[in-house]
Amino acid sequence: MSMRVIPDQDQPSAAIEISLEKPLPDYDLLQLDQPTPRDVDAVLVSQGFRDLVDDARGVLMDLLAHPPFQANSPEHANLDFTHSAPLALELTQLTGAICPGDDEVYRPGLWIVLRDTHAKSKTTLPAATQERITAIAAELVKRLQLA
């Protein structure tokens, strides 16, 4: 499984690309390696892939509300048990992606965009927020058993 976090330049958001590299029998996604991007389209519109996207959305929303623990995160210094504060990160996009692999092979994947709701527009995400997004993406991969 290949995962990349790509911070947007001069924007308080980042994209996460997760390439599926192993079969997912629970989603009826067995043949992932495809010779052309067009062949990946058939996988992206399959019911199994749509089910994967739905499950990913549910897990991701839970992770945004309850991010994975990071020892050095400032969010854990001041715990707020009132749940009145808005989420720090907002899901702005979750869709399928065509991911290039090795040896001219293409695979389906997930494309996720998260935005920092507290950051000023036209600013790049701070390193701590990028680390939080990476931790969320890694936990998403773990919970969906994509690796």
Sheet hosting strand 89-100, strand order edge to edge:
2-7, 13-19, 106-116, 89-100
Q: Between 93 and 1, name the one with better pLDDT.
A: 93
pLDDT reported for residue 104: 87
Q: Between 22 and 103, name the one with better pLDDT.
A: 22
Q: Could you read off the pLDDT of 96-124 as tens digits, one per residue?
A: 999 998 788 999 999 999 999 988 889 99
The pTM of this model reads: 0.86
Closest alpha carbon to 106 in 24, 41, 53:
41
Q: Is the pLDDT of residue 4 over 90?
A: yes
Confidence of residue 72 (pLDDT cuts 50, 70, 90): low
Closest alpha carbon to 96 in 54, 142, 144:
54
